[in-house]
Amino acid sequence: MDIEVELSKIIINEASDQQVIVLKERYGQRSFPIVIGIVEIFAIDRRLKGITPPRPMTHDLLDSIITNLGARIERIVVNDLRNHTFYAKIVLSLNGKTVEVDSRPSDAIALGAATGAPMFVAEQVFEKIGE
């Protein structure tokens, strides 16, 4: 089962390459941090602040490609945690079919922030974090 989450916190440390975002259950109390890169954190931060860059950034480009191919982003899912590494997928709808694309969580979340797609975390991820 997937649990809907929201981006509850962004921690930017310009002195480090590792940045932190916190995902929190939309209708619950559980949350957890994910370490991401500086490029992705700035892409997410800009989008949440409503800042549109003069030229498309990578996540804007990907959204444009998906849209122009006739697909739609259904949701973003952080679907696994293995060896301290999170995994995610971008779930697309295309011609009545569902297409799942493997992704780093940072890219998937940045794309979700760029498009307003809902974000989810698999229950098993919350269980692994709680161990």
Mean pLDDT (10-residue bins), the chain, 131 residues? 94 86 95 90 87 86 93 97 95 96 94 91 93 65
* Assigned token pair, 49: 């602040």
Q: Is 48 helix (H, G, I), strand (E, B) or coil?
A: helix
- One CATH from 3.50.50.60, 3.10.690.10, 3.75.10.10, 3.40.1190.20 for 2-130: 3.10.690.10
Which pTM value belongs to this model? 0.90
Q: Which of 36, 113, 104 is nearest to 73 (CA)?
A: 113
What pLDDT does 108 receive?
94
